[in-house]
């Protein structure tokens, strides 16, 4: 393990004013998103769309520190033959790769899942590093509902996250550790806070036991937010306050940065919550974004599969990236969204 390499890469992933583009949608997920805009999900269409993003020079050079790729994407080349990984590197961003194999039902825990993919991971990490990946991502999914999450599900997923992170660092690949407490359901913000604290404390205990170097990782958690079906949605300031409260209780200062997932929030909600945290926080870690849909929904809709719309879609992507860059500095204002509209 090259500790200097890991810590330098992790710090670069959360450098001021920049965040991570999550472009690691599985084939099934991107098909759903393409279906919504009337585009057939073929390898060429998926390549063209992602090339559109990676060639958005303003966004990629100014606001994006790294890109999480899917197995198909890390192997693809642009229309001119340039590997997509090279486009990312040429923009000054860091290529990364999703390495988990998805959430599967957890035996004897109805409604709960365990993320699989540890078998053969060491060999896959070596291959991905050879293809240009300098960091990786593994997502654990924790649902909230009556009687869940169980200790069994939280412990099993935390253990898998820690095993994954240790294998990454062994191969000089920075692990993004992503324990996501889902915002589906009708739970209130306090229930989310309780579950998120439980999950994060368990994850960091497992990371310690697997000897993971905290300075060489990035945490990608959910924000503390009420479930989508909750009758009362907490205001922006309360989301920021309770998210920071939980993080301070659970996340050691050695972690260089926290890159939040958007988790189903709207574009502006995800931006506003991140901004509020950075306006009020004197946190020991950098707080930034690692968004997928909250960065991509607007450019996808504008593009809609037409080459004529590429430049307009790139402008939409650059706008969302800039808004989140400002939020990562606590400088976003809602009027900027209205002006752009």
- SS in 3 state form for 206-231? HHHHCCCCHHHCEECCCCCCCCCCCC
Q: Other C-beta atoms within 10 Å of 55: how many?
A: 18
Helices (H), the chain: 3-13, 27-36, 43-54, 57-62, 71-74, 84-90, 121-130, 151-170, 189-209, 236-250, 267-280, 293-303, 310-328, 334-340
Distance CA 198, CA 208 (A): 16
- Give the residue numbers annotated as catalytic, written as ranges: 178, 220
- Alpha-carbon distance values, 104 to 110, 147, 292 (Å): 11, 19, 22
Distance CA 216, CA 9 (A): 8
Distance CA 272, CA 14 (A): 19
């Amino acid at each position: 393990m090259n500790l200097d390499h890991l810590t330098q890469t992790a710090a670069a992933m959360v450098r001021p004013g920049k965040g991570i583009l999550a472009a690691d949608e599985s084939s099934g997920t991107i098909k759903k998103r393409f279906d919504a805009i009337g585009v057939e999900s073929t390898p060429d269409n998926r390549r063209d769309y992602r090339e559109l993003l990676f060639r958005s020079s303003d966004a990629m050079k100014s606001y994006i520190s790294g890109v999480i790729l899917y197995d198909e994407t890390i192997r693809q080349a642009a229309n001119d033959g340039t590997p997509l990984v090279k486009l990312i590197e040429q923009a000054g961003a860091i290529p990364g790769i999703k390495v988990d194999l998805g959430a599967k039902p957890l035996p004897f825990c109805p409604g709960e899942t365990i993320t699989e993919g540890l078998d053969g991971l060491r060999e896959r990490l070596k291959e991905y590093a050879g293809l240009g990946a300098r960091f990786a991502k593994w997502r654990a999914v924790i649902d909230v509902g009556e009687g869940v999450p169980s200790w069994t599900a939280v412990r099993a997923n935390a253990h898998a996250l820690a095993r994954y992170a240790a294998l990454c660092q062994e191969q000089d690949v920075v692990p993004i550790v992503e324990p996501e407490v889902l915002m589906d359901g009708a739970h209130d913000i306090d229930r989310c806070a309780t579950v998120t604290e439980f999950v994060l404390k368990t994850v960091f205990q497992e990371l310690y036991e697997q000897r993971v170097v905290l300075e060489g990782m990035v945490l990608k958690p959910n924000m503390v937010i009420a479930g989508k079906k909750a009758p009362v949605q907490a205001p922006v300031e309360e989301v920021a306050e309770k998210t920071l409260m939980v993080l301070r209780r659970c996340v050691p200062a050695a972690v260089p940065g926290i890159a939040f997932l958007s988790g189903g929030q709207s574009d502006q909600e995800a931006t506003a919550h991140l901004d509020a945290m950075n306006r009020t926080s004197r946190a020991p870690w950098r707080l930034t974004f690692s968004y997928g849909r909250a960065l991509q929904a607007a450019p996808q809709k504008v593009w809609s599969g037409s080459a004529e719309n590429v430049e307009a879609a790139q402008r939409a992507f650059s706008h969302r990236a800039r808004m989140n860059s400002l939020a990562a500095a606590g400088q976003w204002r809602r009027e900027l969204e209205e002006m752009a509209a």
